Amino acid sequence: MNTILDIAGSVLISAAIMFIVLHLNIYSGQQKFASDKELDIQQYSKTLAEILDHDIRKVGYRYTGSNPFITTQKKVLSFYSDIDSNNVVDVVTYTVGDSTEETVTTNPRDRILARIINGDTARGPSLGLVKLDFSYFNNSGAVTAVQYSIRYIRAEIWV
């Protein structure tokens, strides 16, 4: 009788240990997946910020007119610049597409950042972009809607 109790007890203890090991394995897999997703979001944010930073720094580059801005709205930015440094002034437009255009990602709110140069409407990946808002500031740091007084542009990216 003692042998049966010993065997039953060891089976119970080994089952509990197996359950704990299995649970730990599942938990670590979930944490790795969550960590990978967070890293993807950080990389997407960095990529979007680098693209916008590169182009916004070139507003008016090699443009000889008085006002390099074409459109300065909250959701749309359009300006003149020699964006590819080929001595030809280009028209660069940034806008965000509709959420129905992005069908590959699982997030129904994802949108595609449209970087349109001289009317070329080729669109890139969404990179997890949900919202993009532009704000325009004058020399003193106050928000302005007057195009010729814009000195700073802030792009707010939500991913």
For the segment 107-150, what is each residue's pLDDT rounded down to a tens digit?
Answer: 777 888 888 999 887 666 667 788 999 999 999 999 999 999 99
What is the reported pTM?
A: 0.74
Whether the CA torsion 63, 55, 122, 110 is positive or negative: it is negative
Q: Is 92 helix (H, G, I), strand (E, B) or coil?
A: strand
Chunked into runs of 10 residues, the chain (159 residues) has average pLDDT values of 83 89 84 79 88 92 94 95 93 84 72 87 74 94 94 92
Whether the CB-CB separation of 68 and 80 falls below 8 Å is answered with yes
Rounded (5°) CA angle 115-116-121: 110
Residues 31, 35, 40, 42: is their CA dihedral positive or negative? positive
- Find out whether 74 and 145 touch, Cβ atoms under 8 Å: no
Contact in structure between 114 and 98 (CB atoms under 8 Å): no
Compute the distance between CA of residue 15 and CA of residue 21 in angstroms, rounded to an integer: 10
The helix (H) or strand (E) run that includes residue 54 is: helix 2-56
What integer best gives the mean pLDDT of the chain?
87
Nearest-angstrom CA–CA distance, 3 and 59: 84
pLDDT reported for residue 37: 79
